[in-house]
Amino acid sequence: MPSFASATSSNLPLTNLEPNRCFSTLGAPQSSWLEVLEFARQSGLNAVEIRCLDGQVVEPSKFGALLPSVDQARQDLKEYGLSLAMLGTSVKLLDRTDIELEKLTAFAQLADQLDCPWLRIFDGGTIGESPSQSTFQQTRVFLETWAKLRDDHGFRCDIAVETHDAMANLRTSRAILEALPHFHVLWDTHHTWRNGEGLLEYYLLVKERTVHYHVKDSVDRPSKRKPFTYVEPGTGEFPWPALGELLRERKPNAQISFEWEQHWNPELADIEDVMPAFLRQTNNWA
Of 89, 13, 81, which Cα lies nearest the Cα of 47?
81
State the angle between helix axes of 33-42 and 271-282 in degrees (0 to 180), rounded to the nearest 10.
40
pLDDT at 6 over 60: no
CATH number at residue 178: 3.20.20.150
pLDDT at 11 over 60: no
Residue 8 lies in a domain: no
Mean pLDDT (whole number) for 131-144: 96
Residue 82 lies in a domain: yes
Contacting residues for 47 by C-beta, under 8 A, at least 6 apart: 20, 21, 22, 40, 82, 83, 84, 85, 255
Residue 182 and residue 71: Cα distance in Å, rounded? Answer: 33
pLDDT at 193 over 50: yes
Residue 19: which pLDDT band, with cuts at 50, 70 and 90? low
Which pLDDT does position 15 carry in this prediction? 36
Residue 6 lies in a domain: no
Mean pLDDT (whole number) for 194-221: 97
Residue 4 lies in a domain: no
pLDDT at 24 over 70: yes
SS (H, E, C) the chain: CCCCCCCCCCCCCCCCCCCCEEEEHHHCCCCCHHHHHHHHHHCCCCEEEECEECCEECCHHHHHHHCCCHHHHHHHHHHHCCEEEEEEEEEECCCCCCCHHHHHHHHHHHHHHCCCCEEEEECCCCCCCCCCHHHHHHHHHHHHHHHHHHHHHCCCCEEEEECCCHHHCHHHHHHHHHHCCCCEEEEEHHHHHHCCCCHHHHHHHHCCCEEEEEECEEECCCCCCCCCEEECCCCCCCCHHHHHHHHCCCCCCCEEEECCCCCCCCCCCCHHHHHHHHHHHHCCCC
Residue 228 lies in a domain: yes
pLDDT at 1 over 50: no
Which pLDDT does position 252 carry in this prediction? 84
Q: How many domains does the chain have?
A: 1
Residue 128: which pLDDT band, with cuts at 50, 70 and 90? confident
Q: Which residues sit opposite 50 in a β-bridge?
A: 87
Residue 15 lies in a domain: no
Which pLDDT does position 225 carry in this prediction? 87
Does the predicted model carry a pTM greater than 0.85? yes
Residue 16 lies in a domain: no
Percent of the residues in the chain that have a pLDDT greater than 90, as a whole number: 86
- Of 11-15, 67-71, 76-80, give the lowest mean pLDDT range: 11-15
pLDDT at 148 over 60: yes
- By residue count, the chain amounts to 286
Mean pLDDT (whole number) for 78-91: 97
pLDDT at 66 over 90: yes
Residue 2 lies in a domain: no
* Domain interval for residue 92: 21-282
pLDDT at 10 over 50: no
- 107 close to 146: Cβ distance less than 8 angstroms: no
Residue type, 70: V
Of 277, 284, 271, 278, which Cα lies nearest the Cα of 38?
271
Which pLDDT does position 218 carry in this prediction? 98
pLDDT at 75 over 60: yes
Mean pLDDT (whole number) for 121-133: 93
Q: Which residue has the higher pLDDT, 261 or 284?
A: 261
- Tens digit of pLDDT for each residue in 164-189? 999 999 999 999 999 999 999 999 99
Which pLDDT does position 249 carry in this prediction? 85
Which pLDDT does position 172 carry in this prediction? 97
pLDDT at 220 over 60: yes
pLDDT at 12 over 60: no
Residue 18: which pLDDT band, with cuts at 50, 70 and 90? low
